[in-house]
Amino acid sequence: MWEQYRKTFRGMQMAIWLAAGAAFFVTHSCFVAAVFFATMQIGAIFGAAWGVRLKRILGGSGRRGLLRRPLARYRD
């Protein structure tokens, strides 16, 4: 999971800072911006974990996943 988080860290942090800055600009409240920032940070960690899980389920990790099964198995 941390490998996936490291891959997207820089872009995600820029997006989080921009969104928190926009929240502060719109509301003029440090509390709202801080809550928004913290929520997005937690979401980034959970999103990285979910991405690793989806990659494993769909076959992106080298194991046999859903996308690596033969198509004949799914034909009617």
pLDDT reading at 74 higher than 60: no
Confidence of residue 1 (pLDDT cuts 50, 70, 90): confident
Report d(CA 39, CA 20) in Å as an integer. 10
pLDDT reading at 13 higher than 90: yes
Residue 21 confidence (pLDDT) = 96
Residue 4 confidence (pLDDT) = 78
Radius of gyration of the chain (CA): 18
Domain assignment of residue 8, given as a range: 2-74
**Residue with the two structure tokens 């995600």:** 12
pLDDT reading at 15 higher than 90: yes
Does pTM surpass 0.75?
A: no
